[in-house]
Amino acid sequence: MHKRMIFSLTLVATVAISPAFAATFQNTASDVWIAKWFSMENVMNNGGFAVSGGIDYFSEGTGGDITHELVSTTKGLRELSRAEVKLDKAHSALEMGEDGVWDWEVVDIDVDDSRNMSSSWGLNDQSNFTWHGIIVLKAPSARSTTMHPAHDDYAQIWINGEPVYDNDQWTGGVKTVTQPTDVDLVQGDNVLLFKCGEAGGDDYVNLHFEDSDSDLDIVPTMEGEFWIYAGLAVEAKDKVSATWAGLKAR
């Protein structure tokens, strides 16, 4: 059902510099929640959020080659583009990991849906599973700002290789934030990993930043593209190394 993640840096460069391929980036503000995420198929039968909160499923599924910290960097995204996450079949259900590999897709979360971790993967309300999502925040300038996560149940967030949020208490509503958290963003690409483990009842994730962050371009794009704008160094047709910023300026 789900397409296997296949990635070619050369192909990406070719598409990215095509003038016919225009991107509309997501944006955020105090009342604008981020809806599109690059998400891994849900890890089912997680034993409850208290158990899954201590498990790095990326490390478990890649023999330690990829970790939470690594995947929240552009270097880690490059590694992820070449890797397969293979978990125990006990975590497979409802077409999640059905072939033994947990695939990645751009998904839309309904920011008003209190069960959007389930519904983002086309599932009815589920219990005992873990959701993972990645976005890339493209900042025209370095800054200190505040992020606002809502979640049910246990949420953990990493930015640029550093853990920045760890809260095992649900926030009480799909748009209710209990711990606004100060974070630092660098100029250029900032990779954010959002992990949330669910036990039962509502299951949701949500995130927004500040009004002053409305200049951030956020990947996946509104068109549902991730890899070609994910901030990886790519090789253009003339073999000159280029980045998203350089390609966008052309």
2 assigned to some structural domain: no
Beta carbons of 235 and 13 less than 8 angstroms apart: yes
pLDDT of residue 231: 78
The per-residue pLDDT of the chain, averaged, comes to 88
pLDDT at 194 over 70: yes
Q: Does 119 fall in a domain?
A: yes
Give the mean pLDDT of 5-28: 59
Whether pLDDT at 31 is above 80: yes
Task: Give which of 120, 134, 138, 148 is closest to 193, Cα–Cα.
Answer: 134
pLDDT in tens, 205-243: 999 999 999 999 999 999 999 999 997 744 333 323 333
pLDDT at 29 over 70: yes
Record the tokens describing residue 195, joined without a space: 């992990």
Q: What confidence score (pLDDT) does residue 22 get?
A: 80
What is the torsional sign of CA 195, 228, 183, 215? Answer: negative
Look at residue 226 in the predicted model and tell me its pLDDT.
97
- Tell me: pLDDT of 121 over 80: yes
Does some domain include residue 152? yes
Whether the per-residue pLDDT at 177 is higher than 60: the answer is yes
| DSSP characters over the chain | -PPP----HHHHHHHHT-TT----EE--BTTB---EEEEEEEEE--S-HHHHTT--HHHHHTTTSS-HHHHTSHHHHHHHHH------GGG-BTTBTTTSS--EEEEE--TT-TTHHHHTTT--S--SEEEEEEEEEEESS-EEEEEEEEEESEEEEEETTEEEEEE-S--SSTT--S--EEEEE-SEEEEEEEEEEE-SS--EEEEE--GGGTT-EEEEETT---GGGS---EE-TTS-EE-HHHHHH-
**Is the model's pTM score more than 0.85?**
yes
What gap in Å lies between CA 225 and CA 36, rounded to an integer? 10
Cα distance between residue 101 and residue 41, in whole Å:
9
Residue 21 has pLDDT above 70, yes or no: no
**56-88 confidence digits (pLDDT tens):** 999 999 999 999 999 999 999 999 999 999 999
Burial of 113 (0-12, 13-18, 19+ CB in 10 A): middle
Does residue 64 sit within a domain?
A: yes
Residue 11: what pLDDT?
43
Task: Please give the tally of structural domains in the chain.
Answer: 1
| Structural domain includes residue 3 | no
Q: What is the pLDDT of residues 34-63, one digit of tens each?
A: 999 999 999 999 999 999 999 999 999 999
Q: Quickly count: other Cβ atoms within 10 Å of residue 67's Cβ.
A: 17
Inside any domain, residue 1: no
Q: Is residue 147 part of a domain?
A: yes
pLDDT tier for residue 15 given thresholds of 50, 70 and 90? very low
Say yes or no to pLDDT of 250 above 60. no
Domain that holds residue 88: 9-249
Cα 61 to Cα 202: distance, rounded to the nearest angstrom: 27
pLDDT in tens, 122-174: 999 999 999 999 999 999 999 999 999 999 999 999 999 999 999 999 999 99
Query: Is there a domain that residue 4 lies in?
Result: no
Percentage of the chain exceeding pLDDT 90: 83
